[in-house]
Amino acid sequence: MDLKTKITGVQHIGVPTNDIEATIRFYEGIGFDTIYRTVNEAANEQVAFLQLGNLEMEIYENHQASMHTGAIDHIALDVKEIESVFSELKDRGYELPAEGIQGLPFWENGVRFFTITGPNAERIEFCERL
């Protein structure tokens, strides 16, 4: 399988924060719009998605932001047919999470995702909006 047909681009960049309201004000001040807000009940975190042009950021208040350069938590790639992407990466020998594909009740119909770790300890999330 050619993964390029299943991965359609960057979906969002995940940024943890200790103060979601201050973070939203900062990004809105430079032109971003808040396009979605919710609470991740499982993690007890407020979550906001902000957009400027084709760039989308997921801001989540986990009170564990590192507060130094390199604080971006993950880059999420937009995928379709997430099961086939998961299977293909497994076949190629990538280390995949034991829990497999997870879900969250974000957006209208939810999302499904899984995350791998890159060679520099960067987290790459593969995410499908349903």
Q: Which domain holds residue 61?
A: 3-129
pLDDT, tens digit only, all 130 positions of the chain: 788 889 999 999 999 999 999 999 989 988 899 999 999 988 899 999 999 999 999 999 998 888 887 778 888 999 999 999 999 999 988 888 888 999 999 999 999 999 988 766 788 899 998 8
Distance CA 90, CA 105 (A): 26
In DSSP notation, 9-48 reads EEEEEEEEES-HHHHHHHHHHTT-EEEEEEEETTTTEEEE
Our count of domains for the chain comes to: 1
Rounded-to-integer distance, Cα 3 and Cα 116, Å: 15
Question: What's the CATH number where 60 sits?
Answer: 3.10.180.10
